[in-house]
Amino acid sequence: MSLPLDSLILRHRQATLDLEVIGIPHLLSFRTFNITFDQDSPILSIPPGILSHVDSDSFEEQEVIVSVSDEVGMNLDSVVMHWYFTRGGIEIENSAGSSTLEYLSGSGPTSTFSSSVNLQPSNKSLLVKNDRLLVWFSGSDLSGRAISGFGTEGLPLTPQFRWMAFEPQFEDIIVTPYRPVVGEQLSIFVRVSNIGVLSGNMTVECYDDVGRLLASNSSMIEGGSWVDYEWEVEAWKTGRLGITVKIVNYTGNVPIPVADVQAYQDQESQAVTALGFAGLVFLLASGVFVAALLHRREKNNQFTALQVNSAMDHRTLPPPRPKDLVDLTQEE
C-alpha cells in the first residue's frame, strides 16, 4: 500500500495518519498514527562541570544533567546513562550499570534530562585506588534516530576518578646510632605522611621483639601533610633487638633499620686495642719500607755489575811500539 504525501507534510516533517479497517467484525476499525519525517540525528551536549570528576565517596548521589538538540523532538523516555569501571584498561567484572534520565525541561529543539544516579557497585569493596570510570549515553528522537556526539558510546566520557580516603604511611624511619652497644640510648625517628585526600586520626606504636609496647603517639594529619615522632630506647641486650613500628589499623609491623647490638668495652680496653692496632700498622709500614729499600739497593748493585761487565767486554790492547824509537836505557 502506498500513500500520496502533500509537500506541506514533508515541509513540516510531521503528519497524522488515520487508519480505518472496514469489513472485519470485532476488530478495532479506527486507529490514529503520528508520523515524523527526520533525516538528522539528535546531538548530545553535556554542560561544563558535569561528570568532569567523580569522587569515591559520592557514588550513590551523582548529579547528572545532559541536553539533546533535535528539530523534530526527542523520545522523552529514551535517554539512558551507561557506565563501568576499568582497572589497567580492562573492564572490572560486576562494575557496569545503567540508569534512565528523567525529562527536566524543553526549549525549542533542545530537551534537558536530569537525574541523581547511583554509581556504587553492589560490592562496595570492589573498587580500589587508581581504577577508572567510563560513561556514555544512549537515546533516540521521535523518528528513532540515535543520539550522536561526544558522550555517546562511540565517544565515551572518562571522568577523573578521585579516591577519597585517609591514607597514612611511613615515609622515613631512622635510628641513631646505627651500630649501638649494650646500654646505649637509641634515637628512633619516624615520619608518617598522609598521601590521601581526607584528613584523619591515627596512632603510631613501637614494639620490642616480644611484642612489648615501647612507645606510642596519636595525631591528626591533614591530606598531603606529615607528622614526625622521635623516641629514646635503651639497647637492652646484644644481638638483634627486633624493634618494629606500625600505624594502628593501617599497616603491619615494620622493622626499624639498626645493626646488631655489640657488647660493651671499657675505655682502657678500647685504648689498648687502638694502641695495638696502631703498632701493628706501624710494623707493617716499617716492613714494607725496609723491603722496598733492600729491593732498590739490590737493583742498583745489579745495574753497576752490568755496567762493569759491559766495559770489560769492549776493552782493546795498546798499539805496538815504534821501531825507530830510541832505547833510552842504553848509554850514549
- Which sequence spans correspond to the domains of the chain? 7-36, 43-162, 168-255
- Chain-centroid distance of CA 62 in Å reads 27
Task: Tell me the C-alpha distance between 115 and 325, whole Å.
Answer: 145
- On the 0-12 / 13-18 / 19+ scale of CB atoms within 10 A, 37 is middle
Contact 194, 222 (CB under 8 A): yes
Cis peptide before 177 (omega within 30 of 0): yes
Could you give the CA distance from residue 10 to residue 123 in angstroms, rounded to a whole number?
53
* Whole-number Å distance between alpha carbons of 129 and 269: 58
Those residues whose C-beta lies under 8 Å from the C-beta of residue 245, and which sit 6 or more positions away, are 170, 173, 188, 190, 204, 205, 206, 207, 253, 254, 256
CATH number of 43-162: 2.60.40.640
**Cell digits for 97?**
550499570
11-36 in b/e burial notation, b at 16+ Cβ within 10 A? Answer: eebbbeeeeeeeeeeeeeeeeeeeee
Same fold, 43-162 and 168-255: yes
Cis peptide before 255 (omega within 30 of 0): no
Could you give the count of Cα atoms lying within 13 Å of 45 in the half-sphere of its Cβ?
Answer: 11
Task: Name residues whose C-beta falls within 8 Å of residue 155's C-beta, 6 or more positions apart in sequence.
Answer: 136, 149
Instruction: Give pLDDT tens digits along the chain (332 positions).
Output: 566 666 665 566 667 777 776 766 666 666 777 776 677 889 999 999 999 999 998 888 899 999 999 887 888 999 999 999 999 999 999 999 999 999 999 888 899 999 999 999 999 899 999 999 999 999 998 888 899 999 999 999 999 999 999 999 999 999 999 999 999 999 999 999 999 999 999 999 999 999 999 999 999 999 999 999 999 999 999 999 999 999 999 999 999 999 999 987 765 555 556 667 777 777 888 777 777 777 777 777 776 777 666 666 665 555 666 656 555 555 44
Instruction: Tell me which CATH code domain 168-255 carries.
Output: 2.60.40.10
Query: In the block, which residue shows the cell 766495559?
Result: 311
pTM above the 0.75 mark? Answer: no
**Could you tell me whether strands 53-55 and 160-162 are parallel, antiparallel, or unpaired per DSSP bridges?**
parallel
How many angstroms separate the CA atoms of 115 and 112, rounded?
11
